[in-house]
Amino acid sequence: MARSIFIEGTDGSGKSTQLGLLKEYLENKGEKALALREPGGSNYYESLRDLYLHSPHEHPAVSDALISAAGRAANIELAKRALEDNIWVISDRAYPSSFVYQAVQGVPLIDIKDINRHALQGFDYDVKILLDVSVDVAMDRVEQAGGKKDRWESKGKEFFIAIREKYLALAKTENYTVIDGSLSVEAIHQQIIECLSI
């Protein structure tokens, strides 16, 4: 039976909303769930989050790949322990974020995969979901949600078009389940539950 899942997608695609609903659903079924998010999740990766999202200092894109992989390694340790204890692992973003965002920034995919091989140590998720929404919808949602934008959300529309395309291409080659993120929150939730067979 599946016990681990990531939900991926552009900023504003609805990942956090769905992970919150999924955690509630699993707990109502009497299951325990470890909720992770990236950047963040483990205390170690959380301590890198601010640097990741807001660093004003110039740095090469490969630094982002290395930092996220360093934090991710700590999440994977937590995930492995949780699974041993029959606890679900549900993650808001995971390694595909690096495969997409850092690739769009120009880091060769082969290097990103190599860096992440050290972080993942053979670990992979059972269920892999991409929430796909148009860039206009996603940007509108981020705008509506308000708050200070991080250094990623401040990038222009062209950047997010490239991110969406890269996600769709990756989903195809890696067999992720693509769900239409413009559906209602409830409809998406139901589709995610169907992928879990619980």
Q: Is 71 in the site for ligand ADP (CB under 6 A)?
A: no
Nearby residues of 121 by Cβ (< 8 Å), 6 or more positions away: 73, 76
Among 3, 14, 94, 112, binds ligand ADP (CB under 6 A): 14
Q: Is 41 in the site for ligand ADP (CB under 6 A)?
A: no
Three-state SS letters, 88-118 = EEEEECCHHHHHHHHHHCCCCHHHHHHHHHH
Among 4, 6, 15, 34, binds ligand ADP (CB under 6 A): 15
CB of 69 to ligand TYD, least distance (A): 8
Pairing of strands 4-8, 33-37: unpaired
User: CB-wise, 147 or 197, nearer to ligand TYD?
Assistant: 147
Q: Is 13 in the site for ligand ADP (CB under 6 A)?
A: yes
| CB of 123 closer than 8 Å to CB of 73 | no
User: CB-wise, 112 or 196, nearer to ligand TYD?
Assistant: 112
Among 26, 38, 123, 189, binds ligand TYD (CB under 6 A): 38
Buried b (16+ CB within 10 A) or exposed e, 82-111: bbeeebbbbbbbbbbbbbbbbbbbebeeee
Q: Is 140 in the site for ligand ADP (CB under 6 A)?
A: no
| CB of 130 closer than 8 Å to CB of 176 | yes
**33 DSSP β-pair partners:** 88
The single-letter DSSP state of residue 198 is: -
CB of 30 to ligand TYD, least distance (A): 29
| CB of 77 closer than 8 Å to CB of 43 | no
User: CB-wise, 53 or 83, nearer to ligand TYD?
Assistant: 53
Among 39, 66, 125, 160, binds ligand TYD (CB under 6 A): 39
User: Using CA atoms, how far apart are residues 136 and 138, in angstroms rounded to an integer?
Assistant: 6
Which residues in 162-191 contact ligand ADP (CB under 6 A)?
Answer: 184-185, 188
Q: Is 91 in the site for ligand TYD (CB under 6 A)?
A: no
Q: Is 68 in the site for ligand TYD (CB under 6 A)?
A: yes
Binding site for ligand ADP (CB under 6 A): 9, 11-17, 141, 145, 184-185, 188
